[in-house]
Amino acid sequence: MKNIYNLTIEELEEYFLSIGEKKFKAIQLYSWLYEKRVKSFDEITDIKKTVIEKLKEDFSIEILKPIKVERDKLVNKYLFELYDGSLVESVLMRHDYGTSICVSSQVGCNMGCKFCESGRLKKVRDLNSYEMVLQILAVEKDINERITHVVIMGIGEPFDNYLNVTNFIKIINHPKGLSIGSRHITVSTSGIVPKILEFADFPYQVNLAISLHAPNDTLRSEIMPINRAYKIKDVMDALKIYYKKTNRRITFEYIMLDGVNDKEEHALELCKLLKGMNCYVNLIPYNETNNIQYKRSKNDNILKFYDIIKKNNIGVTIRREFGSNISAACGQLRSKREELWRHFI
């Protein structure tokens, strides 16, 4: 049975029309689900009984409950068990500008980036839209607050699950859905070119982040196997088209790996690559994990790298570190997982 949280407003309108009802019922139902947060269809008072019965026949209204929560000052990590026993995680972060959640989009990831814990587990399956929506609802329930920003940067490659991810964005962006402004939503991809091009036509003003991590093909192919399929030039060409169509500034993520991609020559090569683009670079101090040999760049080298980019008039930030105490930082979402899998499967 389909979960009701899987439906975009258009899909719900179509559903109501298909059962001989007016399509405005979709908006009514959305507000029961996302504003009033009902737990069962029976709590709905302004839709007639026969329609409620039909909804009960056609949809489940089950939510997700975390099976484990780890709390730190500014970060909470949530572990969810999905209907098939798969485990995914979400991370909540508190900022001075609001509260953001990092949502997982797949169980595992097939991209196999050498530095990433999530990539060590082959993809088991894509998440459905409702499983992403419900990560947000569960976290909001736990903190009793509304989440203001969403980044699709948890486990998984969002563009390898394009339809479910874009439907998820439609649902959370809708004013009667979770009403999260499109400019507060960021999708991060390792660079699947055909999907970047498709995303250029996606009519929502969401942010796009590209996990670049290396300024040339030799190095990038070494640490990110996807680069063998889509070379840096292909990604850049797609981004130029994306920018032409959307006019939206692009973020480049760049993990700082000690002795691998953090030398002066890499910074200069990166500047050459990005010259003239409306973009900014987010330098990410690598979060070391037990299972992977890469080390985090020395702070001095991160700062030197930063200075070179800045001097070349390219916007640059160093990502504030969150959650390393509880292994909730990016790419660490899986490091304690073996242990968890033994417990839960």
| Spatial separation of the C-alpha atoms in residues 87 and 106, rounded to whole Å | 10
Q: CA-CA distance, 32 to 12, in Å (whole number)? A: 13
Site for ligand SF4 in 194-213 (CB under 6 A): 211
Least distance to ligand SAH from the beta carbon of 12, Å?
Answer: 29
The answer to whether 190 contacts ligand SF4 (rule: CB under 6 A) is yes
253 binds, among ligand SAH, ligand SF4, none (CB under 5 to 8 A by kind): ligand SAH
**For ligand SF4, the closer CB: 91 or 111:** 111
Distance between start and end Cα atoms, the chain: 23
Q: Which of 253, 262, 305, 322 binds ligand SAH (CB under 6 A)?
A: 253
CA distance 187 to 141: 23
CB of 285 to ligand SF4, least distance (A): 15
189 touches ligand SAH (CB under 6 A): yes
- How far, in Å, CA of 207 to CA of 186, rounded? 4
For residue 286, the partner it binds in ligand SAH, ligand SF4, none, with Cβ less than 5 to 8 A by kind, is ligand SAH
* 171 contacts: CB under 8 Å, gap ≥ 6: 5, 7, 8, 9, 129, 133, 177, 178
By CB under 6 A, the residues from 138 to 177 that bind ligand SAH are 153, 157
**Catalytic status, residue 288:** no
Of 17-46, binders to ligand SAH (CB under 6 A) are none
| Structural tokens at position 68 | 């484990």
223 near ligand SAH (CB under 6 A) = no
Residue 26 has which token pair? 């979709």
Residue 36 is given by DSSP the state S
The verdict on whether 113 is a catalytic residue reads no
- Region binding ligand SAH by CB under 6 A among candidate stretches 88-96, 199-207, 233-241, 328-336: 328-336
Among the residue ranges 3-11, 113-121, 244-252, 260-268, the one whose residues contact ligand SAH (CB under 6 A): 113-121
What's the CA gap between 5 and 34, in Å, rounded? 9
Contact indicator for 193, 235 with CB cutoff of 8 Å: yes
Cα 137 from Cα 140, distance rounded (Å): 5
DSSP assignment, residue 296?
B
Q: Which is nearer to ligand SF4, 3 or 211 (CB)?
A: 211
- Residue for token pair 């660490």: 332
Q: CB-wise, 26 or 116, nearer to ligand SAH?
A: 116
SS (HEC) of 243-283: HHHHCCCEEEEEEEECCCCCCHHHHHHHHHHHCCCCEEEEE
* Secondary structure of residue 134 in the 3-state scheme: helix
Q: Which residues are part of the catalytic machinery?
A: 89, 330
Binding site for ligand SAH (CB under 6 A): 113, 115-116, 153, 157, 188-190, 211, 253, 255, 284, 286-287, 289, 330-332
Binding site for ligand SF4 (CB under 6 A): 109, 111-113, 116, 118-119, 156-157, 190, 211
